[in-house]
Structure 1
Amino acid sequence: MSIDSQLLAQAALFHPMSFLTRAPEVAAEQFLQKLEAEVSGGALRVIATADEGSRVYYRRLAWDSDHFGVPMYRVDFFSSKLEGEGAVRAYRELLEMLKTVVAAESERFYVFAEVPSDAIFPLQGACAAGWRLVESRLTYYHDRLQQFDYAQRFKVRQAVVEDIPNLREVAAVSRNAFDRFHSDYFFSAPTADAYLSTFVENSVKGFADVVLVPAVDDRPPNAFLTGNYVPESTEFAGKKIARMILSAVGEQRRGWYVKLIAELSQHFKAQGVDICHMTTQSTNRAVIRTWEKLGYSFGRCAHVLVLTQGTI
């Protein structure tokens, strides 16, 4: 296998929606082109080993850094021309170089990477470099959303600014012990709760394209589901793609999760969406059963690994 084909194969694994394409090499090539364009534009940074045979692409997350008061980074992709034990050593060297760079910027820092479960050598290299696992997540998708149908319809509406106090509370108390924030000792429980509360508030204010809540009575919503449209890309030309992102259901709305998923699927269908996908923790069996009941299929498994210094 040539170096170029190796790189394409590795990029195909890291492409966040590679499971949707029948031409992974084409998607991988376009994924790499986007990364290099962001490097040229200054949004993405690169660290390489001396022979440039191994590289890591990472970015500083401005909003997250400001919110938490700690420099936050995300690794988008890392690759090596080596295989087997050599690749593991190279990844370890590469990620230790990254640690040195971010540690020079601040005494406290947080770096995370979502690594596909089939990227074996990057996973082993990260573990060897001292990164720790905080979440295993599954992505599910529906690629025939225009054919989506469900036996029942439910009354929902778009969330409004007046709903924010209630939705903030629901997000905070509907705690998932296995999500990236609550499972990682870097974040205190109140810090993790506050982040989700802020996330849903910003979603209502425009961060999300749609936030659905129950509309069956005059009580506060006590449940929500957010979604976004994915920018059109050359990898999926002619396909309109959407993503469901964050949900929470309070005790007063028990049973509403399936209703919100069904209704947001219907909403996206009405907007001409062809494909919808969403992610949850591998431990969230009830959610997975709901998705499968509604016709969503398994897309991929990935692991979230972090490298941190200090706590907040």
Structure 2
Amino acid sequence: MRFITKYLDGYVLALLGMVALACLLPARGGAVAPVEWATNIAIGLLFFLYGARLSTEETKEGFRHWRLHLLVLAFTFVAFPLLGLVIRPIADTFLPHTLSLGLLYLTLLPSTVQSSVTFTSLARGNVAASICAASFSNMLGVVLTPLLVIGVMGGQAAFSLDSAEKLIVQLLLPFILGQFCHKRLGSFLAEHKQGLTYLDRGGIMLVVYSAFSAGMREHMWSHVTVWQVVALLLICAVLLAVVMVGSYVTARRLGFSRADQVAIVFCGSKKSMASGLPMATVLFPSGVGLLVLPLMMFHQLQLIVCAQVARQWPDKPALGRAPEDGVRE
């Protein structure tokens, strides 16, 4: 029990609970359509809130530190996908096709915002730069991730005109609308941060339930073994370690300050489950049950590993102001 409370927060346990619920009581028959409609609405609302919370003025100000941001984006959208392509043939020998595909998909996602900033603060790094870098990654990810999925995964994503329409209607338009509403809603959202956290997480849990319900209708667990799940966890661990070490070594050799190195490592090594799960339901209309399992495993692994690394990083003054709430996606 002590291990669970130390390494698994309530949100992660809730996600695992939704997976269990979907396995035991998946949406079937007449319940499928209402669950899918609710999921689509939740996805649109999530991306509207993402856009409304990101300050365009803050991101413009952040361009002054363009070298740091370019390096973070390079690891997020170049190094990670290249590693995914290198690992893919190896993963194919150990994992079923869907899990291998999901492993490649997670490498194409943007970075997280809140957890990246929180770990940067915990390690006494450049908090202001991490806020801008992670925000840039999420803003660009709304466009870059679908393009990378089309370019890297090709026909495996089952991308069509219908998928493009869903992408625009469910992701891009709500995000852009949220950006336009930031001046009016920004202060309100900041005042109700805790309630929005619950709303975010509720939407993600609904997406998880819908995805795994669809997988259960397709008998997804009959295609995977316990040893394949263990192999997937090991591959995720290697992937995370390579990116964290690579980003740290690169930042040092390019002459970044210690505080900037912290921001680069934590912003460049994360992958966003909050963005990745909703995007998957749009980009892979044929079903995302097992496909999102690598993302969920990588998400928990990055929280555990980065929390330990942040606590053990040498203690020096932080730049910027730390976020007030705890670690979250």
Range class of TM-score, shorter chain: under 0.3
Higher relative contact order, structure no. (Cα contacts within 8 Å, ≥ 6 residues apart): 2
Q: Flag the structure with larger Rg.
A: 1
Q: Tell me the TM-score normalised to structure 1 length.
A: 0.26
> Whose strand fraction is larger, Structure 1's or Structure 2's?
1
- TM-score (normalised: structure 2): 0.25
- Name the one with the larger helix percent: 2
